[in-house]
Amino acid sequence: MFTRTLLFFLLIGLAPVLPAQTTFRYAVDYNDFIIGEQNKIGTAINGFNEACGKGKLNQMNTRHAEVVAQIKTSLAAVKALKPYKSNSEFRDAAIALFEMYQSIAGNEYLEIIALMDEGIDVGNNRSRFIDVLGKIDIRSKSVNDTFLAKQKAFAEQFEVKLEENKYEQNEKSKTP
């Protein structure tokens, strides 16, 4: 009895450490898994953006750490995916996208935090802030476009009906 109880608690304790599911029976589940990981990152990024909007440095640092941690977790989960029926292009595009997020979090987001710490109205910080946002837009456009194209090709190949991402729908409803 003690051995079974110990084994049960060991398994429960290891559950968060076990890798995510890496094979899927249906293409739609594979697609939804990748998009789910992307949405987790998007939620963390929005938390960072909201903290920046409030100008609260402690919140910005906390949210930045959350973004970095979520990207690391999601990137590992997607890297663990096996190709779906020999198709790895969609997964590989997601990895490239998540690695770009990781790079932006490690560079541009830190620049934003530093600028906010100095004071956005100090010297030419406002102009530098706008330049950083422009760099993010430029860096993300081609990688995001490639990701979307690979997702569409995956959906066509495996007859998956794509719907507008619920996360994106929620974000559009927040936009003034």
What would the pLDDT profile of 22-74 be if each residue is shown by its tens digit? 789 999 999 999 999 999 999 999 999 999 999 889 999 999 999 999 999 99
Predicted TM-score (pTM) of this structure: 0.82
Residue 138 lies in a domain: yes
Do residues 97 and 74 lie in contact, with contact meaning Cβ atoms separated by under 8 Å? no
Residue 169 lies in a domain: yes
Please count the other Cβ atoms lying within 10 Å of the Cβ belonging to residue 16: 6
Encode 99-132: b = buried (16+ Cβ within 10 Å), e = exposed: ebbbebbeebbebbbebbeeeeeeeebeebbeeb
Domain residues for the domain of 80 are 23-174
Identify the residue with better confidence: 141 or 9.
141
Q: Name the domain count of the chain.
A: 1
- Chain segment 70-103, per-residue pLDDT in tens: 999 999 999 999 999 999 999 999 999 999 999 9
**Rg of the chain's alpha carbons, rounded to an integer?**
19
Among 4-8, 42-46, 117-121, the least confident range: 4-8
pLDDT at residue 22, rounded to an integer: 77
Residue 99 maps to which CATH number? Answer: 1.20.120
Residue 16 lies in a domain: no
Classify the C-alpha dihedral 147-96-92-81 as positive or negative. negative
pLDDT at residue 169, rounded to an integer: 53
pLDDT at residue 149, rounded to an integer: 98
Half-sphere exposure of 19 (CA within 13 A, CB side): 11
Cβ contacts of residue 116 below 8 Å, gap of 6+?
52, 55, 57, 60
pLDDT at residue 170, rounded to an integer: 59
Band of residue 120 on the pLDDT scale cut at 50, 70, 90: confident
Whole-angstrom Cα distance, residue 50 to residue 44?
10
pLDDT at residue 17, rounded to an integer: 45
Identify the residue with better confidence: 124 or 146.
146
Residue 11 lies in a domain: no
Identify the residue with better confidence: 7 or 62.
62
Residue 4 lies in a domain: no
